[in-house]
């Protein structure tokens, strides 16, 4: 499936293997809990103080691969970034 991740002025498109059994509201909530959890060391912190994050669709793909998908499943990946025109997608989320 393709997930469109809407930002203010553009969007990223992410491939996610079928079979992710989360509704989009739950997916966003779990992602936000993870990305802002200061006890988790991920590559999207601005610096070592874990005071702020900087991310786009790559963080969602990373999180899906590390925390949601089984290791033997296909990996989630960014298809395109910073796209202004609409493309085909299955689900849309707003960040």
Helix %, strand %, coil % of the chain (to 5):
25, 25, 50
Predicted TM-score (pTM) of this structure: 0.91
Mean pLDDT of the residues in the chain? 93
d(CA 2, CA 36): 24
pLDDT, tens digit, for every residue of 25-50? 888 999 999 999 999 999 999 998 89
d(CA 4, CA 89): 6
Burial class (CB in 10 A: 0-12, 13-18, 19+), 31: buried
- Provide the pLDDT for residue 93: 92
3-state secondary structure 16-29: CCCCCCCCHHHHHH
């Amino acid at each position: 499936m393709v997930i469109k991740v809407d930002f203010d002025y553009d969007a990223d498109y992410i491939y996610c293997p079928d079979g992710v059994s989360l509704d989009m509201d739950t997916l966003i909530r779990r992602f936000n809990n993870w990305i802002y959890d200061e006890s988790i060391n991920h590559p999207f912190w601005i610096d070592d103080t874990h005071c702020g994050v900087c991310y786009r669709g790559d963080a969602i793909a990373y999180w899906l691969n590390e925390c949601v998908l089984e290791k033997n499943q296909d990996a989630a990946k960014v298809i395109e970034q910073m796209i202004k025109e609409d493309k085909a997608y299955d689900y849309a989320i707003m960040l």
